[in-house]
Structure 1
Amino acid sequence: MQYPPTHLVVMGVAGSGKSTLAAALADRLGWACAEADEFHPAANIDKMSQGIPLQDDDRWPWLGEIRDWMTAKSRDGLSTVLTCSALKQSYRRLLSEAGGRVVFLHLDGGADLIGQRMQGREGHFMPPTLLPSQLATLEPLSQEELDAGSLRLDISRSPEELVAAVVQALGLDADQAPRAS
């Protein structure tokens, strides 16, 4: 069986492990991988670097760029793995407009664990002081989103365990999925 182009959007607040899981999934599946941070305009990065939370007006063009990237990959017959906070259901609805199947993988965990992870990382423009605003903005996956195939994943599990859980839950097989070229 050949899969239609699928986009795994690894979502959650900063420090939840999106980049780690996305890289591991892309490696396991051989799919194109991107970081949503790469799509931010300089103005957004400047704001976040100064500890200023983004507003919806800052996010809509950024989310549109991400959706369009996924659609372009779908047109080429490629599946993708993408990191994106996707904190609100309205953001996820916009991303779901991309061509192909869009599945959200919500990395879920306690504020203490996420805060510890953020303290330990270096070279990232998102300061730990923005974690409370991200947690306040986060709208967990709805039952409708879960019923459509999106997954809530416990970040206390290892990346290897999470990859195995995603591959099994979604019935993905690297030998049958559209690969990055």
Structure 2
Amino acid sequence: MQEEEPRGWRPAVAALPAAAAALVYAWARWCFGGAAPPSPAVAVAGGAVLVLGASAAYALSVRGAGGLFGALFLALGLLSTVAATERTAARAETATCVVREVHAETEASFGEGGAEKTVYRLALDCPGGRPGELKDAPSPLSRGAEVRIAYDPRGRLSAVPAGAARPWKPALSALLLLALAAVLAAHRRRPQP
């Protein structure tokens, strides 16, 4: 005989991805832009507890293959939420900097096609000395070129080219992954005793 679910249990579990995303978003927002944010170690540890705790709660509530895949989708969706939050966090200062050095590194891709990707890191000379570098520059710039940079004067966020921090890809990934986790939770079947 199949065990009865408590009334309202399925909608509550299906709402877990949205609730977890709201908590992770609030935590990340505070860590990236709060007036008195925690230290980086506490920020990472707190984020890890939230992501792993929500994933474990989901897996225990849903169970079976749906619980495993749903927990995986939930964890990836929460990490995408953090990435989208980081991209929308305020980088309050801008500066026009001169490229001092260009470092190029070729990374192999193990995905489809196996194409190599070149990543550029620029050492910068900026007014006031900050920021000192631009990681993952979108394209190579020659030595001596000027580039406009947006940065966080507290140093909590990495510098980006001015106007380049677009959160659309991680935000859409987060929505898709969290929706998949919610659908799996809403349509799960209770295991037979």
Name the TM-score, length of structure 2 as normaliser: 0.29
Q: Which has the larger radius of gyration?
A: 2
Say which structure, 1 or 2, has more relative contact order (CA 8 Å, 6+ apart). Answer: 1
Name the TM-score, length of structure 1 as normaliser: 0.30
Greater strand proportion: 2
